[in-house]
Amino acid sequence: MSKLTKVILSEKDAPTHWYNINADLPALGVELPPPLHPGTLEPIGPEALAPLFPMELIMQEVSTERYIEIPEPVQEVYRLWRPTPLFRAHRWEKALDTPAKIYYKYEGVSPSGSHKPNTSVAQAYYNAQEGTKRITTETGAGQWGSALSFACQLFGLECKVYMVKVSYEQKPYRRVLMETWGAEVIPSPSVLTNAGRAILDKDPDTTGSLGIAISEAVEEAATRDDTKYSLGSVLNHVLLHQTIIGQEVIKQLEMFDAGWPDVVVGCTGGGSNFAGFFYPFLAAQIDEGKKTRIVAVEPAASPSLTRGKYAYDFGDTGQMTPLMKMHTLGHDFVPAPIHAGGLRYHGMSPQISAVLDARLIEARNTTQLPMFGACKSFVQAEGILPAPEAGHAVWGAMGEALACKESGEAQTIVFNLCGHGHFDLSAYDAYHAGKLEDYEYPDEKVAASLEALPLIT
């Protein structure tokens, strides 16, 4: 048995193109319903997105080209941290007493500590190329806001981040990191926008949500000629930029001589790191007939894939975004203040939702105490502290490994550790002190939130 611990590709082996799953959806038997205009409910074209996004990103959103070339200025920035390492978790395998072989891709080596710069750098580059001066965005736990702040600083753009209020309060050092890169960070909901003021009028003590923060960022971008909007998940052009992760993993598994994985696991909030991880495996399924189980793990407190409805819904609370068919808990959904702030979104990527509906992937959820327990097991064996978001993938991989222990099967398990937890120590402190509570979103609240879904056949 090989005792190789990690594989790091050379820069010359880094991907030069992003993989676009839109080209392969028909071959996979997946139908992707079109986005609808929020006013007319008619399918929208690229021009409807022009107030928010630069044209190159809009064209990537609707493109059916299988591979899209990564511009050299973006590749140059990527080389600051990419390719990222793939590890074999020998010590964790031993601690779990499992015959499984466990591998994990580690995206926490990026400047902002997660996978998010894979798309923030690309989005900032295209905005700068088209003359954008300012970008607004939302952020949950701060991973995305940090990544966009970093990218905007590189390309000379102003950045304004609406940060979900509970995370703004829980994770002050994420704010400091964003401000160090020159961003302005606002707790959301705020009094700066119509959307924020409307929410505060209804509930002055609200902890906020990603849907609310999106409304605020979109409103500001739509009302200023010098400003565009950027987001870190959900839409195709965002997920597209993350596919360098899975492309690297496939090459690295070959160097490990690991064979084709039996299961790949990722955490899901809006879908960006999960899609970037598993989409290239679907491409290999089409090209070479190689199949693997693909497992998404989400928090039980925000269970869009496992308990949401596959229906058209708004991407934001203020109903300003196009309607997308996705697994959703309803745009009025306000999540509990669990520590995995980046996964507290009411909906899921339309692409991933359609792929789940076609039964090409599986989905499960966990409450936060078992998730932190899995992280504790992992960090004590491997030494890397996962972010609570990434911890859901750790929990999923641990479950697969323990199932192998029961069955005696030596399966190959690969998961994406999409970010470090260095700014999440307050969450670990609360866990160690026994102050965290498990929470599952109640059925009656799910039902109430879904009642607000637009009626579209």
pLDDT digits (tens, 9 = 90+) for 247-295: 999 999 999 988 999 999 999 999 999 999 999 999 999 999 999 999 9
Q: Residue 313 corresponds to which tokens in the numbers above?
A: 């819904």
pLDDT digits (tens, 9 = 90+) for 27-38: 999 999 999 988
pLDDT digits (tens, 9 = 90+) for 322-362: 899 999 998 887 766 655 555 667 889 999 999 999 999 99
Distance between the two ends of the chain, CA-based, in angstroms?
A: 55
* pLDDT class of 1 with cuts at 50, 70, 90: very low
pLDDT digits (tens, 9 = 90+) for 201-235: 999 999 888 889 999 999 999 999 999 999 999 99
Contact indicator for 151, 183 with CB cutoff of 8 Å: no
Q: Say what the pLDDT of residue 449 is.
A: 84
Angle between helices 117-129 and 55-62 (to 10 degrees): 130
pLDDT digits (tens, 9 = 90+) for 424-436: 898 899 999 999 8
* pTM of the complete model: 0.94
Between CA 51 and CA 393 the distance in angstroms is: 36
Cα 145-226-173 angle, rounded to 5 deg: 20
Backbone angles phi, psi at 305, to 5 degrees: -75, -40
Backbone angles phi, psi at 121, to 5 degrees: -65, -45
Q: How many Cα atoms are found within 13 Å in the side-chain-facing hemisphere of 176?
A: 6
User: What type of residue is 395?
Assistant: W
Q: Say what the pLDDT of residue 338 is.
A: 55
- Domains for the chain: give ranges and CATH numbers: 6-15+69-113+237-450 (3.40.50.1100)
